[in-house]
Amino acid sequence: MPYSVLFVCLGNICRSPLAEAAFREEARRLKLDVIVDSAGTGSWHVGSPPDPRAQAVARKNGVDISSLRGRQVKPIDFRRFTHVVALDEDNLANLRRLAPPDATADATAELSLLLDHVEGREGQPVADPYFGDDDGFDLTWADVTAGARGLAQKLRRGD
Ligand code: 4NP
């Protein structure tokens, strides 16, 4: 079965679209057969394009994310995706609450935190850059790139 990965933050306009873009690039480099998407646990930005500062940092790093649109996580995502990857612990906790109970066999996705896939950074959040300044988005890009690399390499090894 090909892998499918859903990245999840709060608004789906800053961190998770950047993680989606970074992971898509990394998967392409490694020739991984994988479906990639992102979503938010919140609903405020459903239908919205990524934050202009997220678009700018992506563009600066050679990726166009302007056509992405925000959406909210839904229960079927836990069955449609093989991996659901949260950007921080709060969103991971919300995902655990939203996931259908294991007993129904509906929740087959493996849940993780993005930086769990980076050696030495397990358990760390990708900080929310929304209320900060532009520099925060460079840090977000660095973090999601590290996480995307680690996850793509794990999937390539079949871990
Ligand atoms: P994201 O950032 O979760 O990385 O997309 C946020 C975007 C919007 C809000 C919070 C975080 N907000 O409160 O609207």
* Residue 101 predicted with pLDDT over 90: no
Decide: 77 and 109 in contact? Cβ < 8 Å.
Answer: yes
pLDDT per residue as tens digits for the range 24-44: 999 999 999 999 999 999 999
Quote the pLDDT of residue 102. Answer: 66
- In angstroms, rounded to a whole number, what is the distance separating the alpha carbons of residues 137 and 56? 9
Tell me the whole-structure pTM to 2 decimals: 0.96
pLDDT of residue 158: 86
Determine the distance separating the centroid of ligand 1 and the alpha carbon of 26, expressed in angstroms. 24
Mutate to test the pocket of ligand 1, among 7, 12, 14, 44 (most ligand atoms within 8 A of CB): 14
- Contact, 57 vs 137, CB < 8 A? yes
pLDDT at 2: 87
Alpha helices in the chain (DSSP H): 15-30, 52-60, 77-80, 89-98, 135-157
Task: Tally Cβ neighbours within 10 Å of residue 104.
Answer: 9
Query: In percent, how much of the chain has pLDDT > 90?
Result: 91
Predicted confidence (pLDDT) at residue 134 exceeds the cutoff of 70: yes
Catalytic residue among 51, 116, 128, 143: 128
